Structure 1
Amino acid sequence: MTGIIGFQSLKTLYCNDNKLTFLPELPSNLIYLNISYNSIKKLNNLPESLNQLDCNSNNMLEIEELPSSISSLNCNYNSLTALPKLPQSLTYLSCSNNNLTKLPELPSEINAINCSQNPELECLPFLPQKLRNISIYNTKINCLPNSVSVIYIDANSSPLPFCGISDTNLQKAIAESCPSCFDNCMRINAIEAQKVKSLTISGKNITKIVDLHFFPNLESIDISNNPITCLSPLPNSVSSIKIDEEKIKCVSSENLNLKVFNSKGEMIPKPSACSAFIPDNNFANAIRRNCSNCIDDCNYLLPPATSLTYLSVTYSNITDLTGIEGFASLQYLYLNRNLLKTLPTLPSTLRTLEVRTNALQSIPPLPENITELYISNNSLTQLPKLPNSLQKLDIIGNKISTIQALPISLIELRCTYNQLTCLPSLPFSLTYLQFDNHKIGCLKNLKSGISLWSQSNQQLSTYPECSNPIILSDVTANTPNPVTPSTTVSLTVKRNYTGTVAIKWQRKKLNDSDYSDLKIDTIATASNADFIYTIPNVTVADNGSEYRLVVTSACSGTFTAKAFTLAVNDKSLPPPTITASPRDTVCLSQTIRLTSNCPPTSATLWSTGENAPFIDIHSSTQTSRTFTAKCSTDTIQSPESSVKTIFWKPFNVILINIGQSKSATKQGQNIALFSWINQFVYSDKGPPLTFSSQTNPSIYYLDNPNKTQPRFWTAYVDICDVSSEGSVSFDMLATPEIGIPVSFNTHENNAPYFMYANRDGFTELYAQNHPNFGFYAENENKQNRYDDGLPAGLYKLSIRYWTQKGMGLTPSLRFPQGSSTSYQEHWFRIQSKVGNSSARRSVDSLPDAPLFSITPNPAATTAILSVKQAKQQEIQYEWVDVTGRVHYKSQFVAETDNHTEQLNITRLPMGLYFLRITTPTQQINLKVTKLD
């Protein structure tokens, strides 16, 4: 196209589908330009005279600037992420199928916009009042920024609600005084809106004061010096309002203490109360279409509404019918094809109500004099009490399962496509009934002369009338007791009932506590046919089983036939004996094998449901469990074995109060565990430690003897029958009432297994603050923080048995080897008698000392160090392994009192490390496990 500039008189130029990659300089008088279906990436240097531009389907990335005279722009099917500033002359914009995330400010003259198929477009700018058509299909837009009087919207769902304040000028005025009350899409920020106590929006050219319900805590508002024509109901919280008294003639408020001021700030008498308000704009517009003099521009009802007797507002997308009570004389109300989920209290004068094809889930009590009710195709599950005046009722296509009673004056009833299986007694006045005859097997009080119709609109000439009660015979068998194995037995019950019934054949085995269902069926018949159930090839397992029939009719109730007890005579297989290996009592999580002595030609049927010569069982929670077994062949089955009870013994855990700092010693020879019995720590409330859980921990009162501060406690574990070739790890996580969580993790290689080691059996026991066998971390006084003892709070104590000895010199430095074969955990809380918030004290919550924690732990590549209360302090840290070798060290300055530092540990070998942290006031070690 080079040289096109020479055609200066050119007005119209078509260059579509020419493989163009750029545009040269164009004639200055060009008015219309079509460059669609090319490969132009960027659009610039357009002539100022251009009025219409079609650049769709170019895969374009950018439009640099638009001429000020352009009125029509088509840029569909490109890769645009943004549009340039739109000139005020633009009246038509089509930018569908792009990657737009937002739109620029819209010109005041624009009347049509198509921005569909922009999946990341989330919101719209303010809509000009001349806009008449907008398409936003397949975008993220789910609300409108403001109200436009007449507009057609093509969207994913319809109708679209307003994002927040529907009036443009009111929205802008509120945004000036509370910018945080709106997000980028002008949606209300509910949290910020709740903080607004006062609004001063005087002199902002506002014509409508609406949507004030978004500000539930608003106390005062100044709306003076505005051309206001509408003032919606005030929130009850508003106690003061300034108005132009010559414009505002009524105020809708339930606050009896409301004070009203004129524009000069002088208190004036409260204007009269407004009439009924219609908050749903769709309802208000529908009223205008039917009775233009019944409602004003502010959605308040006018006097003619009180005398209106007929109102039809069908097909209007109404969601809220509030204000209908203002139609005090209404007799006929038609609401079909709307979006109503509920109805308010209806006018007492109402005679006919149609609410077909809505979304009703409930309806209020009906007016006493209503005669016709049509509520088909909704989501109702129940009906209110039906007034005796009702003559016609249509509830087709709901989810109603029962009707309590029908009015005595009812003439017509349509109730198909519901969940009804029975109707109440039919009134003598009824002449027409359409019902689900495939669900409702009989009719109560059926009389001649009723026109009966099925759900498929087929007229029924006759129908069964309900019988009550249902009379059932006892269950009988076709063969006498006892029977031999492999016999087929037929059970029979005779009945007198016609209609549809639900039946359940049930069985209760010899050792069962209750019946279980064998066969569930629905039978619809007009004859008195017998109920029959067949038991094919009975076995010894059926001996002593009771069989019964339960019959239920929605119209007559539930009836049960007397049970039949089946006897099967066969004793050729004796009951088996169950053997447990290694023994009947083992440790928690240890596996036991149960074996039966059933003959090789038979199978073993276990009470667990398994069918095998042996079963392996284990438990990590139960203390005991019972088992039985039977021997079975294809034709016979033995009686049940004797009950075998298996017991699981948990680790026996004892908490001991050493009673003094670092360690304590008992004098004498061959000191035994029970020499410390007076220092055993027993729970004061809740379960014993063995049966504790996170939701039900053991409780230790810090006010009681043996539990007062400082608490130097250790834990002793009796490992039951587990081999002493392994080792035991203790992982205790303390969550103090004040301060950050802290871990006490140790590993003991030799029995007796104590959390912080021991000397000469039970002669000397060590505490958590022992510098060698416990933990050491300096506080600001250069003393061990663990000298303060265990703080009040919640504790989780996890105990594991490992198949190998741990690696490391002392309990607090060891880390496990081998695999863990047993695990149990205990939960306990140390607290005051008056509650877990009393008497708080923790070594990790000193008021002026920095607080440290690290996550995750264990970690593989990165660990996050959290530092609190250390703003502007220099923090030094170094990674030290269990041998004392320093692998890496560095420092940083905490920027805030809630600082986090990301630590790269990729190069550290796998193992246990201490993160040694030094501040100007203290030194602390955090134990961290590095995973591969």
Structure 2
Amino acid sequence: MKTKLLSLLLVLISYLALSQTTAIPDAIFEQELVNQGKDTNGMTGDILNTDAQAVTSLNVEGLGITDLTGIEAFTSLTYLVCSDNSLTTLNVSSNTALQILLCSYNSLSSLDVTLNTNLLSLSCDNNQISSLNLNQNLLLGSLGCSNNPLTGLDVTMNTELLTLACSSTGLNSLNLNQNILLQDLTCVGNNLTSLDLSNNTALQLLTCSFNNLISLNLGSNSILWNLDCSNNQITTLDLSLNPALFIFKCSSNQLTSLDLRNGTNSSVPVNNFIFAGNPNLTCINVDNATYSTNTWTSFLDPQMFFSEDCSLGFDEFESSNFKIYPIPARDYISIDSNLTKLENIKLYNLNGELISSNNYPNTNKSHKIDVSSFAKGMYILQVQTDKGILYKKIIIQ
């Protein structure tokens, strides 16, 4: 009888001991816990539950961990970084206090965060996740899920979202109508043909390059200051209602019309606006054609020039007001004025450098500009009259 009682007592003691610990099968994971002073019983293959429950923040990034089993014991955890490891699974269903989860650069094929209702920030970029259910994460303010083979992305319930990065996920559509607080959107390298941002009035940064967009309406995004819509199929772009715009790239589209007259062009420095790769775009509407010509021409195609009103139509204006000849020119360019009074004529090379400037006292006489010393090539002639400033491409042979 005493032997049986002793055996039962030993079993009970063993059970109680086991119930006070949680297994940590990955030696690298446990070693890091020991190194950080979070596992006080040493390399035993487990952790005391009291130790785990005392941890609120844990960073085990870039250690080569393959198994994070045992993380379920960290029930007080609010901050977890396990990025850049070799994880294929991650179970955070017991970590209901979790607010920040960074698990990018692993090999996760799925991620269940439906029980993590306190989650504020999630970064799961560069995994193999095909679906992501965020319907229960109503507090989510930041989401990074780029470089995953997502079949879709539903963020309609995430009305607190401020930042969204979902590049290279293969998305065909993206509904952001409910995300009225969104400030930063990066959706590069998807299959988007349209993007409705009419409700996203708080948007400040938009990077939507390398999609299949044929149009982009940004009339509601008045505080947008950084826009990259390069490598799409956009034909017209009106940014006249975006006075905060400071960085703008629209390279490699099918633009035929571009309006930048937002009243603040003169605050944009050199190299901040890039237009190259739009062979069908000639005239670009700007606030100040002289400033734009002097500042932004490093990233223009040869046929492009700036005007304060592209609707004037230079050829029509020229035929009724003055003549410019010969084109191509060799020794000189003649400008015969008729009804329009000339004020200034400037000649720029395609680098935006001023190479000739001539002022006139509001006359409508004929004038000649000596170009015999200029190198062969294409130039931009700026003609300032009493009716405005116009530009014309000039070839010197």
Q: Classify the TM-score, shorter chain.
A: 0.3 to 0.5
Structure number with the higher helix fraction is 2
Higher relative contact order (CA 8 A, sep 6+): 2
Q: With the length of structure 2 as denominator, give the TM-score of the two structures.
A: 0.47
